[in-house]
Amino acid sequence: MTMRDDPVVDAARWPDDLDDLERSLLTAISGLEPSSSAAVAPDAPLAPGSSLTAGGLDHVFDAQLASRHLDHTARWLRARGEGFYTIGSAGHESNALVAAALRPTDPALLHYRSGGFYLARAGQVAGHDGIGDVLLGLLASVDEPIAGGRHKVFGHEALAIVPQTSTIASHLPRAMGVAFAIGRAARLGLPTRWPVDAISVASFGDASLNHSTAQGALNAAAYTVHQGMPMPLLLVCEDNGWGISVPSPPGWVEASLAGRPGLRYERIEGTDPVGVHDSAEELADHVRATSQPAVLHVRTVRYGGHAGTDVESAYRPAAGIRADLARDPLLATAGVLVDAGATTPAAIVARYLDGRRLVRRRAEDLRVRPRLRTVGEVVAPLAPHRPAAVADTATAAASPERRVAFFGRLPEDEGALTLAESINRALGDLLCADGRVLVFGEDVGVKGGVYGVTRGLQRKAGRRRVFDTLLDEQSILGLALGAGLSGLVPVPEIQYIAYLHNAEDQLRGEAASLRFFSTGRYTNPLVVRVAGYGYQQGFGGHFHNDNGVAVLRDVPGLVIASPAHPADAPAMLRTCVAAAVVDGTVSVFLEPIARYHTRDVHVPGDEGWTAPYAPPAAWAHEHVPIGAPTIVRDGDDVLVVTWANGRFLAQRAAERLAAEGIGCRILDVRWLAPLPLDDIMRHAVAVGRVLVVDETRRSGGPGEAILAALAEAGFAGPARRLAGADSFVPLGDAARLVLVSEDDIEAAIRELTR
């Protein structure tokens, strides 16, 4: 039978439900002809100097074809009401060749059009069912092996692929952090979850390049190698020329990426499969050998619009859409294979149609798999707590000999310490006890922090474990995310809470969500120390006195610790770090700046805001579990619920009111998430009157949640809330106009007790 008579090539006999893209591709493949009659042996290179053989490319072609079938199947399922995600990889399948050029143990953080990459890597691991993984994700099945039906992502622990949600380059700081962790752990002699010679790989789109997270990650990578530190990072920009409906200016990606200091750049067309593979392989070898970053710019095409709901014809001329059909990477791979004599057009068409039927049949079979049915099932991965294991870890110290060698004079022998000093000594104990702990941020190393909280730690622990970073909060958190993901224990500092807002999505969208979208297989254990709140005297303005915490309180699974007193801070910090190690918990450790160096409460010299540092033998007794509050003053007339500076102010007010016969019970919640609502209710019922002193803003502050919880639980007594004004904190004495004062607290308590 001649090729022309082959019924598979005969378009009249193709399935009726092929869409325009499929028909165009199969028609073009049917017209392919080899340029010579000499066939290339399956194990022979396809080009001089290349490691890619015809057999290897044929294997990659399986992944490319399967990726295309999955994209069409996603839209087919959606049309039937059985699928939920239609952002596809069609046109980007050249990324399968990037996967083929890498090791399956190289950690990969992928763009959402990386179906080819995912399936090619799945093909590198014996027995892995990549097609089944993706189909279960499209069907939102609990059996999907990474997100468990919570989102359709490309990720799998066995493939070293870290799941990303619909990323707009927000994963690049973490990818940079993974690369940093690989290099830093090697220099410290510490293991990570990756091989010692692994490289971090991240892909992103051309439109995402313009996002500040992408620019920050690129800059941080170059900044790091400029200082002579390792950064084994390969970035892959998949440039299809569009950001949903907005075209990227011609030449912009190359202009933005080429010539950056410390960053090697290569550009290749996605229609050159051998070139893509060889460029990726050469750059990967360069990154692996030099520990310096590189970027591969792959020109691709996007088929079918941004997603199934995107009507591309509304903003693109029909001629442009038709012209892109000739740039199909599947057609390019088919052309190379036909030209090499490895197959025929008829065989490829048959292969395509057989694969199409197989994927749809598998989708039919898998659509009955169970989906998430209850709230409990959905939220199960968010923040599992093993308090007993956390307590064991939090109360374990380094050996006495090691502590003496680290500290010289032990903290417990120093006498009364301030809040800043107690946090410093606790950080020292953590660094001493666990070589994986890293402390870093702006000014934390040589200077020891703006407020001296990390002073002396670099000298004791070394410059590789306590170090200064560049002034970019997104990069600081990205570095921490990558370090935690890799198996280290990062304790980054954000200098002021107002600076956190520049990078908050690294906590919300990346750190806190990773456990959720990987069912706990990947975590970002970290403790972010943040100096915050108001009440600094003679300094600042709204960036240095900031009392907004609402942006943190609604992050699912995020723990917010807020120690007020030096008696609490060390134990709470040890608990947060232990929870990171044991449960992969993400915590924010929110420190009241105004109390860092406070010593007295009521009168000069009373030393009421100092405390001795507990020796390790007392840590078990003084352990503070997550969510555990403390009573700091007893009384039966009014329950004052507060934290941080509010505790200090309430104690001063309560002392004066006691002279009038009014007894205040002061409950320091200590944790803003999770709030100790059951304890609050128990004390509220016992006392009968409640005043919530919330130093944060009236809108969005924790006080709202406390009053709401009391009401929902049926508390019938009088309850009031004092909160800061819905305002930024102004400079100088004007700050007193918008912050809660001692006089406010006294007046409110008197009113409640009338």
For helices 54-79 and 130-138, what crossing angle results, to 10°? 20
Q: Is 527 helix (H, G, I), strand (E, B) or coil?
A: strand
Report residue 337 CA to chain centroid gap. 40
The Cα 329–Cα 95 span in angstroms is 10
Q: Omega into 674 within 30° of 0, i.e. cis?
A: yes
Q: Please, are residues 280 and 273 in contact by the beta-carbon 8 Å criterion? A: no
Cα distance between residue 215 and residue 373, in whole Å: 40
As to burial, measured by CB atoms within 10 angstroms (0-12 exposed, 13-18 middle, 19+ buried), residue 208 is buried
List 2's β-bridge partners, or say none: none
Beta strands in 129-199 (DSSP E): 161-162
User: DSSP character for 208?
Assistant: G
Would you give the end-to-end CA distance of the chain in angstroms? 103
Closest CA to 442 of 483, 488, 475, 486: 475
Torsion of CA 541, 545, 551, 555, to 10 degrees: 150
Q: How far is CA 596 from the centre of its chain?
A: 30
Place of tokens 């015809």: 54
CA angle 21, 70, 82 (to 5 degrees): 110
Helical spans, DSSP H, in 659-735: 677-687, 702-712
Determine how many CB atoms are found less than 10 A away from the CB of residue 550: 13
- Determine the Cα–Cα distance for residues 198 and 186; give it in Å rounded to an integer: 11
Pairing outcome for strands 559-561 and 671-673: antiparallel
The Cβ of residue 464 has, within 10 Å, a number of other Cβ atoms equal to: 13
Placement of tokens 């468990």 in the chain: 148
What token pair was written down for 504?
A: 């908050």
Give the count of beta carbons closer than 10 Å to the beta carbon of residue 308: 18
544 is catalytic: yes
Strand order in the sheet with 630-633: 630-633, 664-668, 638-642, 690-697, 719-724
CB atoms within 10 A of CB 317: 9
Pick the catalytic residue from 544, 565, 623, 683: 544
Indicate the burial class of 60 (C-beta count within 10 angstroms; 0-12, 13-18, 19 or more).
buried
Extract the tokens encoding 23: 């028909």
Catalytic positions, written as ranges: 544
